[in-house]
Chain A
Amino acid sequence: MRPILFGIVLLWIVLTVPCYAGNELSVRLVEAVQGADEQSSAGLEDVIGILKRSLASANYRLVDSCIIQLPASAEQTLGSYTIKCSGTQKNLAVTVLRHGKEVLKTANIPLQGTKPFILGGLPGKSGVMLLVFLVK
């Protein structure tokens, strides 16, 4: 009987642990700044390398941020955008609204480990906006 019990406990641990790999989702609203004299603001140190390497803009400015507990079932406002998140890290669904109107909806966004997921091209006041999702 003992080996079966041990096996069941082991299976339970293996199946449940990945669901709780991270417990907080950080969402940041970032503005891409074209001016070369602008300095990147604080709070983007972990993703600034990725942004500069992959995108055309010279600098980026953190506009707003929030933390959402995982598994998520929350609605947060960042700037003029409202972010609705639901689900776990593995199957997170995000809906982005602007002035209450749905702009885009995405599901199963790739949030593997602590790698950021960046959703860009959103219109902003003086430039293009980005949403940076990162599990902490």
Chain B
Amino acid sequence: MKQLSTGQIRELLAHRHIGMASDAESFWSDFKARAQLMNQDRPVAEPLFSVSMKRLMLATACATLIALCGGLFLFSGRETPAGNMTLNVTAVHSAVLMIEDAPSQSTIVWIVDMKAGDDDGGSA
């Protein structure tokens, strides 16, 4: 390998053209021109709602619970007055009538011709 002396190095550097440092304006215009040649990632848009998934799930669960409670409160006991009633008359009888008094929404069950031994029901 050829070794250069200090004098030879100085001579070579003196002959080689080294450009002067450019000013700031030309540097940045050159930089921007070079930057445009490169692919740039588009900026990511900010999310509309910055709510974490955990909070969203909690809010949904609470809303569902409140709706369920409201539904139970509003619609419980809205069935027909004698909807689930069962009646088993063991005494001798001819018929059972069910009367609904509209103004009071009360129910009357009437057992027709009921026979239950001697008729002393009122005696205490």
Interface contact A10-B104, CB-CB below 8 Å = no
C-alpha spacing A118/B97, complex, angstroms: 12
A50 in the interface, Cβ–Cβ < 8 Å? Answer: yes
Task: Name the interface size band of chain B.
Answer: 35 or more
CB proximity to A under 8 Å, residues B76-124: 76-77, 81-91, 93, 99, 101, 103-117, 119-124
Q: How far is the CA of A80 from the CA of B109 in the complex (A)?
A: 20
CB distance from B34 to the nearest CB of A (A): 54
Which residues of chain B are near A119, meaning CB under 8 Å? 108-109, 111
| Interfacial residues, chain B to chain A (CB-CB below 8 A) | 58-59, 61-62, 65-66, 68-69, 72-73, 76-77, 81-91, 93, 99, 101, 103-117, 119-124
Contacts of B120 in A (CB 8 A): 80, 124-125
In the bound complex, how far is the Cα of B123 from the Cα of A99, in angstroms?
A: 12
- Counted as pairs of residues, one from A and one from B, with CB atoms less than 8 Å apart, the total is 152
Known: A81-B121, A103-B90. A112 touches B81 (CB 8 A): yes
**Assuming the A-B contacts A3-B58, A3-B62, A7-B62, are A121 and B107 also in contact, with contact meaning beta carbons closer than 8 angstroms in the complex?**
no
The answer to whether B111 and A122 touch across the interface, beta carbons within 8 angstroms, is yes
B122-A104 in contact (CB<8A) = no
Q: Is the CB of B119 within 8 A of A125?
A: yes
Q: Which residues of B contact A31 (CB under 8 A)?
A: 121-122
The answer to whether A10 and B65 touch (CB under 8 A), given A3-B58, A119-B109, is yes
